[in-house]
Amino acid sequence: MSTPRDLTRVAFSGLAARKMRTVLLLLGPMIGVAAIVAAVGLTDSAKGDLKAKVAELGTNLIEASAASAFGQSSPTLPIDAVERAATVTTVESVSSIRQLSNVVVTPYTEALEQFDTVPIPVLAADADLPRVLEVGLVSGRWLDDFDESSRARVAVIGQALAAEFSYLPGENRTVELAGFPYAVVGVLEKVPLEPGFDNAVFVPFAAVADDFLDEDPVEPNKLYVRCQTGTEDLTSEALSVAVGLGGPTQISSEVKSEALELAAESDRQLQLIVVSMGLLAIVVGGLGIANVMSISVIQRSAEIGIRRALGHTRRIIALQFLLEAIAVGVVGGILGVLLGMLAIFVGVSAAGWVFVMAGWLAPAGVALAVVISVLAGSYPAVRAARLEPLETLRLG
């Protein structure tokens, strides 16, 4: 049947004949959709690089800390915590650390005065830590089993600390930890999930026992656990039981990427406000369409009358006007999406973010514009259809 094609032709010729009016009609849905697309896109893009990072780092890293133990000021985990954690079947790898306090770090003896007030974290770490965290070394090597067995005074430092200490790759450097000389053997890359490590000093457990703590062997107070992806919550629970069983220590587990994911969530409040404004713009635009088209129906009453006289039914007349509104919605919606994308692009370029635009945003924007214009166009369309040809043709 050729009716839909004929209708489309008539609707578009009606719009093309009144270009200024058509442009004004387009503005409402266009600006509304552009505002919504830009609001959602920009707020998403603002956190886009964080989201990408989370995806890259993986979500399966769990941190299990000794939370509290009765009568202990600095709670620790059992000495065999790593072995206990490894018994959980969903665990893929485990590493342990012990965070120390009140260890003053200086790059060289003479610098003591400048550095004794700057708290630099010192941690005992085992040989598996970089593998579990999935980070590499900027230079040198990580602590190994020989360092432990030989009770060597060696240290690996974080990337930011290396920069602060002006440490050159491969340089033979001795730093002082609470007055003990430690040889720097490597520099650790940034750990996105554990930003504090960037500034930390890592030493073997055996050396900690010798120099800083009154215990041997040294008990860890934190585990880093990689589990099978998807089993994070399950593994967290199992770890509490496996590691804490039979001891006084409470275990608190945290999926490391969750905090980052939370931070990567868009600012919903701001997004809501701007989207509401966009919706308001679309509704006002819709009212504009209803208004302008109602006037247009009056202006075109003679045309409607003659079409009716020529045998066009009320339904055809209504569809013709509705189709004009739909065309305005489709074109306005598409232009709005393009304008919104341009706004996102400009904003993202200015702020140095990653361009993020949800796949549903473009079709949803156009659909919204079409829905609004159909709603707005139905009243004038019905009015046009109700016109009596006898009244509009002014017969002599």
Partner 1 sequence: MITPFLELRSVSRVYGSGDTEVRALDGVSLAVMPGDFVSIVGPSGSGKSTMLGLLGCLDAPSDGTIVVDGEDVSRVADASRTRVRGRSIGFVFQQFHLIPHLDALSNVETALLYRGIRPGERRERSLAALDRVGLAHRHDHRPVQLSGGEQQRVALARALVTEPKILLADEPTGALDSKNAANVMEILAGLRSSERAVVLVTHDVGIADSAARKISMLDGRIVSDEVLRP
For partner 1, which is the closer residue by CB, 241 or 309? 309
The answer to whether the beta carbons of residues 385 and 317 sit under 8 Å apart is yes
How many CB atoms neighbour CB 149 within 10 A? Answer: 10
Min dist CB 347 to partner 1, Å, is 41
DSSP designation for 173: -
Helix residue ranges per DSSP H, 212-300: 232-244, 256-264, 268-299
> Which helix H or strand E contains 167, and what residues bound it?
none
Q: How far apart are the first and last CA of the chain?
A: 37
Q: In angstroms, what is the C-alpha Rg of the chain?
A: 34
Q: Residues 30 to 89: which contact partner 1 by CB under 8 A?
A: none
Number of residues that bind partner 1 (CB under 8 A): 31
Q: Which stretch binds partner 1 (CB under 8 A): 1-9, 92-100, 161-169, 273-281?
A: 1-9
For partner 1, which is the closer residue by CB, 211 or 303? 303
For partner 1, which is the closer residue by CB, 2 or 117? 2
Min dist CB 315 to partner 1, Å, is 8
Q: Residues 316 to 345: which contact partner 1 by CB under 8 A?
A: 316
Min dist CB 376 to partner 1, Å, is 22
User: Residue 140 has which token pair?
Assistant: 């040198």
User: Residue 205 has which token pair?
Assistant: 């457990």
3-state secondary structure 39-54: HHHHHHHHCHHHHHHH
**1 belongs to the binding site for partner 1 (CB under 8 A):** yes
CA dihedral sign, ordered 53, 59, 60, 64: positive
**309 belongs to the binding site for partner 1 (CB under 8 A):** yes
What are the backbone angles phi and psi of residue 19, rounded to the nearest 5°? -65, -45
The only residue of 157, 308, 329, 377 in contact with partner 1, by rule CB under 8 A: 308
**365 belongs to the binding site for partner 1 (CB under 8 A):** no
**229 belongs to the binding site for partner 1 (CB under 8 A):** no
The only residue of 170, 311, 352, 359 in contact with partner 1, by rule CB under 8 A: 311
Q: Which of 134, 156, 172 is nearest to 53 (CA)?
A: 134
What are the backbone angles phi and psi of residue 224, rounded to the nearest 5°? -110, 125
User: Residue 318 has which token pair?
Assistant: 């209504």
The only residue of 141, 248, 315, 358 in contact with partner 1, by rule CB under 8 A: 315
Site string for partner 1, 254-293 (x = CB under 8 A): ----------------------------------------
Distances (CA, A) of 380 to 140, 288, 292, 311, 369: 77, 12, 9, 20, 17
Q: Residues 3 to 32: which contact partner 1 by CB under 8 A?
A: 3, 6-7, 10, 13-14, 17-18
CA dihedral sign, ordered 84, 89, 95, 97: negative
Q: Residues 375 to 394: which contact partner 1 by CB under 8 A?
A: 388-390, 393-394
The only residue of 69, 314, 371, 379 in contact with partner 1, by rule CB under 8 A: 314
The only residue of 84, 153, 312, 383 in contact with partner 1, by rule CB under 8 A: 312
Min dist CB 264 to partner 1, Å, is 53
Which positions lie near partner 1, rule CB under 8 A?
1-3, 6-7, 10, 13-14, 17-18, 302-303, 305-316, 388-390, 393-396
